[in-house]
Chain A
Amino acid sequence: MGSFFILKNKYLLEPCASGEIVVNEVSFVRKCIGADSSHGDLWGKLICTNFKVSFITHDALPKQRFQVANRLLGEHDVPLACVEQVVTVNDAKGKQKVLCSNQKLKFNPTELVLYCKDFRIIRFRFDEAGPQSAKKVCLAIAHYSQPADPQLLFGFEYIGKQYYGSLVNGVDPGGGLQMPLFDRPSEWDREIKRTGAAEWRVCSINEGYVVSPSLPEYVVVPVSLADQDLKQYLCFFTAHRIPLWCWNHPNGSALVRMASISDPLQQRKLDQRICSAITKSHPQRSDVLKSDLDKNLPNIQDIQAAFVKVRQICVIEPFEESEEKWLSSMESSRWLEYVRAFLKHSAEVVYLLEGKHVSVILQEEEDRDLSCVVSSLVQLMLDPHFRSLTGFQSLVQKEWVMAGHRFLHRCNHLKKNDKEESPLFQLFLDCVWQIINQYPAAFEFTETYLTVLSDSMWIPVFSTFLFNCPQQRTENSMDFAKSKCIPMGEEKALRFPPVWDWSQQFTPKDQALFNNPMYVGKGATCVQNGTVKSFRRTKKNYSSTLRGMPSSLRNILMDGHDSLTLTRRNSLVPRLKPDFSQIREVVESPTERFFRDWVSRPADLQGMLIPQLLPSHLALWRLYFLRWVPEASIPKGGPVTAYHKLSQLADEVEKLQSQLRQYKGATPASTPTSNPSAPPSDHSRMYFKAGSTHEPSSIPEYLSSSFPFSPVGNMCRRSILGTPLSKFLNGAKTWLSTETLANEAL
């Protein structure tokens, strides 16, 4: 009997990641699935490893569903880094407790609820499980989800094992990636060339991180600034962060980011020097405008508070009860307001670069948070290259990873930087989603891609999200390698895979979910033939009675009165009541005029894209915020039904093209043997393939607005209604606060 069990366990437990070890486990655990009853619940074993919380079951989920599979995780697994709070409950005793690392638990839990960073709420019951083992597993989960040190993050074990396993230098994660990571001078050089930034150069004074630990080893600076000058200036900048070049507009204007100048006595002089160097690098010697982000945008605590509130509204509050005040609750969370503020500020910078032909410096105290969002958004709006998949990834690599965004702290991977936790990156992804939502054919990737990218932050094996800056990666690598006797050879750091190596997580087929069938980019299928090219937008503008208006705006001269610092305007146009009694002058800023003029023209998806900034045009990113909420899931509906149809058509087009290529490649003599009508080797970019000529008679069951995710078993919020915990949750204003809950339990 016993041996049978071991065998069975072995069969069941195959840790899918290298370096993974089981810490604790308990059998006869029930995973709650249904909202209101135990019907459909799954029986299995709950395991805590050094990587994840795993639930292993032979039961199949009751409902047919779809959930994209992750190669690093099983169907029911949650990485420990994704666990935000561990709540244990004993409903007989009416007790609950939020477990932290190294804590004691004075009761035997009957229930475990995991609140996850990706908004899932997963619930296990221990009614039939051994009380002591259950308690041990709960404590282990609490302990291991709060590592004391970055090197205890699973990524180190993961990569360390790979070094052992691979003998000499077999590890090459991401080696096949066709995108720059910006850790080499040549990649910066290429970017300089690509953007035509002739008067800028790669500077290597920070090689080995000798001058600034938070800057990348290679930075781009104006040609007119010599290394000597920079070395002289750097001590006046916060954390020695000298100005960093981000991007050049084809008109020669540059986008630069910069930390504040710490010495007020030097400020004026230094400002002048930097500005004049940037001006010298502009072909027209245009001015430089500085945009103070700290002054004009919400700070990281504001953003965190908004995120906590929006999460509260979307997943914690009872669904029906929150309906009535849904809109005003959304407003009071301020999340969309902040999304809009960042988009708007970025659009104003776009106006300066594109409309006023001036260079712009984004200034932020440390240049590691708000600047990342704004500089990336500006580049997305202006440069179609960044709207391709690899372009977008290189943008994140350049403006976030290399620029030293503190992913480790902002993600709060170690759970001890609560004050530093802030979802800047999620905010950025939401901003990107808003643009995608408004211009669905302009991006090569889908909202699924953005969502999966966000989820990857909680799988702590990717170099992208593990560290506060490249230097930290090197330092931690060295320490870890030393302690584990890993031969590093010539390498400066362990080769953690970047998140961009998507094969770590997904099969090629599932990666097809990232591809937007509508994309009209350079690499996309684009017909260069007369018949299709002449296919113009003939659609009438709905507001046809207003046609002709916007060009009238051109008569108004651009004035030069924009202040040097962009200020946030709450309302650019005075509110006009539908009241005729007064004539009011319409005051419009040049920026507004620029936007409106652009909106009046058909959008060139390969050119500049400015999001519509009316508050009515910003929407809640439903896939991201509501995908786990069963009540919000539209069965057989949602945007995916359009995606489904579009993908099939795009796939058909691809197949025809490849068929044509085969014909062309076929020499006349070989025609009879080669068979051009055979389906080509399957390298389709589309997830949904063109089927037979007949449409399926019914819509696929698995399509829902949550696709490719599924709420089933991932949101057990409802079922706790009526229990003492639910009473508590209803009263809680935010995501369970550790202190209050801990105090509750005696």
Chain B
Amino acid sequence: MLLPKESVQDMAKDVTYICPYIGALRGTLTVTNYRLFFRCMDREPAFVLDLPLGVVSRVEKIGGASSRGEVSYGLVCKDIRNLRFAHKQMEDSLRKSIFEILMKFAFPVSNGLPIFAFEYGQVYPENGWKVYDAQAEYKRQGIPNESWRITKVNDHYEVCDTYPSNLVVPVNIPDEELKRVAAFRAKGRIPVLSWIHPESQATVTRCSQPMVGVNGKRSKDDEKYLQAIMDANAQSHKLFIFDARPSVNAAANKMKGGGYESEDAYQNAELVFLDIHNIHVMRESLRKLKEVVYPNIEESHWLSNLESTHWLEHIKLILAGALRIADKVESGKTSVVVHCSDGWDRTAQLTSLAMLMLDGHYRTIRGFQVLLEKEWLSFGHRFQLRIGHGDKNHTDADRSPVFLQFIDCVWQIARQFPAAFEFNEYFLVTILDHMYSCLFGTFMCNSEQQRVKEELPKKTVSLWAYINSQLEEFTNPLYVNYSNHVLFPVVSMRHLELWVGYYIRWNPRMRPQEPVHQRYKELLAKRAELQKRVEELQRDVTNRSASSTERAGSPTRSITPVQTFV
């Protein structure tokens, strides 16, 4: 039952798990360096709770000892549930409670311990770290070409320490100028290419906000650079700059030296604000959502309660922004520049969702892995900070469910286009679960530079190694690989839904959707079997007619009995 390098740290009998659905359950609690395991043998079959410690956001001791001499602990989890345990007060007051042990291993970073991903040594047939090769991906997109080149200027992460080493920039901007542009963009995150349309050559480029400041500073280099991005697309003489933020927030950023492109400075550019709120608003929205869905749903006001969390409204704004980007590129054949403040949260959501709509490759299992590796991991979405792996500081203002929102958006699109994705819902849930579990190295650290420095590919296993070792589990059998199928989802509350398969999955009153996929697989199996039989018969008939002409008069063999099943 233990994983390689997993070891039991403590075990306690007579612990009570207070289940919000079925009440108190008494059993044995085990804590390892990876997980919490609770088993109640009074039930048939045994009740089991098995969760990676990585999902634990905080552990708190509740009140003092109760009249029954019990102490109780609450575990707030990152995956939309709270667990509550109680156990007898230790007679030996020197002995540590199992929950103190749990706290130690749930927050290894705060306790000077390694994250379990660095110990886990499972060997998989495929090295998941090889899934993404930036050069190969750009080559797939046809880059380098006459307008775009791959620059090595950031090879040692000197221009921008949160960017990847491979960057795609306009051909006619030399590296020296790139450095000057970097000086004008927050954190040095210059506009670089994310995706290029195979026909129109319209591009999706991403960056951070310009350092305009209160005085409306300008940068000739930055202006020239955006002009070069526009010029690289012969189809359009316009450039759209999508600023993910609400305009008020963008303006407020001027006080901190940031801001947005003025249309005076950037000729032929049109600036559009997408009204997506910041990480703090999103965190608060998810907190409210959790209150509404866990543990129980209030029956009488479900929809208005859901509305009051604004979760779907945020999802809608993100999808609407991505749709506008995709539409400009596909229908308008116009290049777009996307940024927010730093260009690693909302920008990552927007570019990756737009690319998912535009390019069917990203809707395959491997293509989606590439998309995440590229737009999220290599471009420095700060997973370590946003998730807070192994860190006990649960009130850290840097935590935010930005990536969860992105996956939710993917699920929403897949709901509208059930045959357009090679992967299924379980794939998305698995990615989220292992983002928290700390079993794989994939979502560790904040940037490519840190990952290289920590030698993650050497010291940890990639989530893709695990997923690609059992693709069957994650495949949507309804997938049809139509070429040039650009998805334009309807971004309306009429179609957006709460992802019950994720947010409400802990509720035992919910049955996972009877999968359409299951029936499809059954039909596939049946087709294969029937095809085999038909072929057998055809062979049989051919043989027989051959033999009957050769040896006329010999007793006719009857064909193989076939079961009929009508």
A contact residues vs B (CB 8 Å cutoff)? 314, 319, 323-328, 330-332, 336-337, 438-442, 517-518, 520, 525-529, 531-532, 535, 537, 539-555, 570-571, 573, 575-578, 580-581, 583, 585-586, 588, 592, 595-596, 599-600, 603, 605, 612-617, 619-620, 622, 626, 629, 631-639, 641-642, 644-646, 649-650, 652-653, 656-657, 659-661, 663-664, 668-669, 671-672, 676-677, 695-699, 705
- 10 smallest CB-CB distances across A and B, nearest first, come from A552-B43, A580-B74, A615-B302, A326-B493, A656-B530, A331-B303, A327-B307, A642-B418, A586-B23, A327-B303
Contacts of A549 in B (CB 8 A): 19, 21-22, 43, 47, 508
B508 and A657 contact, CB distance less than 8 A: no
Of the residues A332, A551, A645, A650, contact of B478 by C-beta under 8 Å: A645
User: Complex Cα distance A583/B23, Å?
Assistant: 9
Kindly state the separation between the CA atoms of A676 and B418 in the bound complex, as whole angstroms: 36
Selected contact of A599 from candidates B429, B506, B508, CB within 8 Å: B508
A578 interface neighbour in B22, B294, B301, B519, Cβ under 8 Å: B294
Min distance, Cβ A694 to any Cβ of chain B, angstroms: 12
CB distance from B536 to the nearest CB of A (A): 10
Inter-chain contacts of B538 with A (CB < 8 A): 676-677
**B306 contact set on A, CB distance < 8 A:** 327, 616
5 contacts between A and B (CB under 8 A): A548-B43, A615-B299, A645-B478, A649-B524, A696-B482
List B contacts of A633 (CB < 8 A). Answer: 490
Check A532/B518 contact, CB under 8 A, given A642-B418, A660-B562: no
Contacting pair A639 B523 (CB below 8 A): no
Any A CB within 8 A of the CB of B395:
no
- Separation in Å of the B407 CB from the closest CB of chain A? 14
From A328, A641, A644, A656, give the contact of B534 (CB < 8 A).
A656
Which chain A positions have C-beta within 8 A of B47? Answer: 548-549, 552
Checking B22, B48, B74, B512 against A545 with a beta-carbon cut-off of 8 angstroms, the contacting residue is B48
Minimal beta-carbon separation of B87 from chain A (angstroms) = 13
Contacts of B552 in A (CB 8 A): none
Give the Cβ gap from B267 to chain A, nearest Cβ, in Å. Answer: 32
- The answer, among B429, B513, B522, B563, for a CB contact under 8 Å with A535, is B522
The answer on a CB contact under 8 Å between A580 and B508 is no
Min CB–CB distance A531 → chain B (angstroms): 6
User: Are A576 and B556 neighbours in the complex by a CB distance under 8 Å?
Assistant: no
Partner of A548, one of B46, B51, B294, B541: B46
The answer to whether A531 and B529 touch across the interface, beta carbons within 8 angstroms, is yes
B504 at the interface (CB under 8 A from A): yes
Residue pair B562, A664 in contact (C-beta under 8 Å)? yes
Contacts of B173 in A (CB 8 A): none
Smallest CB gap from B494: residue in A: A632
B449-500 contacts to A, CB under 8 A, are 473, 478, 480-485, 487-490, 492-495, 497-498, 500
User: B203 an interface residue at 8 Å Cβ cutoff?
Assistant: no
Known: A645-B520, A677-B538. 14 other contacts (CB 8 A): A314-B494, A323-B316, A326-B307, A441-B516, A441-B519, A517-B523, A526-B565, A531-B529, A544-B50, A555-B43, A629-B494, A641-B480, A642-B478, A699-B485
CA distance A326 to B500 in the complex (A): 19
A332 surroundings in chain B (CB, below 8 A): 304
Q: State the CA gap A652–B524 with chains docked (Å).
A: 10
Closest to A690 in B: B527
Of the candidates A439, A580, A635, A698, the one having the most CB atoms from chain B within 10 angstroms of its own CB is A580
- A525, A553, A705: the one contacting B526 at CB < 8 Å is A525
**Interface check B545, CB cutoff 8 A:** yes
Whether B426 lies near A542 (C-beta < 8 A) is yes
Q: Which residues of B are interface residues toward A (Cβ below 8 A)? A: 18-25, 40, 42-51, 60, 62-63, 72, 74, 76, 82, 84, 86, 290-291, 293-304, 306-307, 312-313, 316, 416-420, 426, 429, 473, 478, 480-485, 487-490, 492-495, 497-498, 500-501, 504-516, 518-527, 529-531, 533-534, 537-538, 541, 544-545, 548, 556-559, 562-566
Q: Cβ of A676: which chain B residues have Cβ within 8 Å of it?
A: 537-538, 541
State the Cβ distance, A105 to closest chain B Cβ, in Å: 36
Q: Are A646 and B516 in contact (CB under 8 A)?
A: yes
Shortest beta-carbon distance, A423 to chain B, in Å?
A: 20
The chain A residue with its CB closest to the CB of B55 is: A545
A534 CB, min distance to chain B CBs, angstroms: 9
The answer, among A336, A616, A629, A650, for a CB contact under 8 Å with B504, is A616
Say yes or no: A539 contacts B48, CB within 8 Å.
no
Tell me if A661 and B564 are in contact (CB < 8 A).
yes
Select A532's contact among B25, B529, B556, beta carbons within 8 Å: B529
Q: Are B482 and A698 in contact (CB under 8 A)?
A: yes
Q: Which of A314, A330, A649 has the most CB of B within 10 A?
A: A649
**Given A539-B426, A614-B510, also A571-B523 (CB < 8 A):** no
Q: Which of B293, B480, B514 sits near A440, CB closer than 8 Å?
A: B514
How distant is the Cα of A595 from the Cα of B496 in the complex, in angstroms?
A: 28
**Contact partners of B515 in chain A: CB under 8 A:** 539
Are A634 and B521 CB-contacts (below 8 A) given A586-B21, A660-B562?
no
Q: Is the CB of A616 within 8 A of B296?
A: no
Q: How far is the CB of A619 from chain B (nearest CB, A)?
A: 7
**A619 close to B497 (CB less than 8 A):** yes
Tell me if A653 and B523 are in contact (CB < 8 A): yes
Closest beta carbon of chain B to A589's beta carbon, Å: 13
**Given A631-B492, A649-B527, residue A578 in contact with residue B291 (CB < 8 A):** yes
Taking the closest CB of chain A, its distance from the CB of B397, in whole angstroms, is: 20
Contact of A552 with B301 in the complex, beta carbons under 8 Å: no
A548, A577, A626, A645: the one contacting B419 at CB < 8 Å is: A645
> Could you tell me if A546 and B84 are in contact, using CB atoms closer than 8 angstroms?
no
Question: Which residues of chain B are near A695, meaning CB under 8 Å?
Answer: 480-482
Chain A residues with CB under 8 A of B507:
614
Q: What residues of A have a CB within 8 angstroms of the CB of B43 in the complex? A: 548-549, 551-552, 555
**In the complex the two chains form, what is the Cα distance from A695 to B300 in whole Å?**
47
Contacts A539-B515, A548-B43: A641 and B420 contacting too (C-beta < 8 A)?
A: yes
List chain B residues, Cβ under 8 A from A600: 508
Q: State whether A518 and B519 are in contact (beta carbons under 8 Å apart), knowing that A570-B299, A659-B534 are contacts in the complex.
A: yes
Contacts known (A529-B565, A532-B522, A622-B495); A612 close to B48, Cβ less than 8 A: no
The answer to whether B563 and A529 have CB atoms under 8 Å apart is: yes
CB atoms of B478 and A612 under 8 A apart:
no
- A613→B531 CA distance, assembly (Å): 42
Q: Assess whether B490 is in contact with A632, with CB atoms less than 8 Å apart.
A: yes
- Nearest-CB distance from A558 to chain B (Å)? 16
B21–A573 contact, CB under 8 A? yes
Which of A314, A327, A336, A526 lies at the interface centre, i.e. has the most chain B CB atoms within 10 A of its CB?
A: A327
CA distance A400 to B483 in the complex (A): 49
Do B481 and A660 touch (CB < 8 A)?
A: no
From B481, B498, B520, A646 is in contact (CB under 8 Å) with B520
What's the Cα separation between A639 and B23 when bound, in Å?
Answer: 39
> Which residues does chain B contribute within 8 Å of A659, judged by CB atoms?
534
How many Å lie between the Cα of A549 and that of B525 in the bound state? 32
Q: How far is the CA of A633 from the CA of B416 in the complex (A)?
A: 10
The smallest beta-carbon distance between A687 and chain B, in angstroms, is: 16
Give A656 to B303 CA distance when docked, in angstroms: 47
In Å, the complex CA distance between A575 and B492 comes to: 30
Shortest C-beta distance, A137 to chain B (Å), equals: 35
State the CA gap A605–B511 with chains docked (Å). 14
CB pair B497–A580 under 8 Å, yes or no, is: no
Identify which of B51, B72, B494, B511 contacts A612 (C-beta below 8 A).
B511
Contact A637 B301 (CB under 8 A): no
Q: Tell whether, in the assembled complex, residue A646 and residue B522 are in contact, meaning their CB atoms are under 8 Å apart.
A: no
Q: Which of B40, B480, B494, B558 contacts A326 (CB 8 A)?
A: B494
Residues of A within 8 A of B18 (CB): 583
Nearest-CB distance from A485 to chain B (Å)?
Answer: 50
Contacts A518-B519, A616-B500, A642-B478 given; indicate if A546 touches B545 (C-beta within 8 A).
Answer: no
With A319-B492, A622-B495, A642-B419: A331-B541 Cβ-Cβ less than 8 Å: no
Contacts A545-B50, A637-B416, A660-B537 given; does A535 touch B480 at CB 8 Å? no
**What is the minimal beta-carbon distance from B518 to any residue of chain A, in angstroms?**
6
User: Chain B's nearest CB lies how many Å from the CB of A668?
Assistant: 5
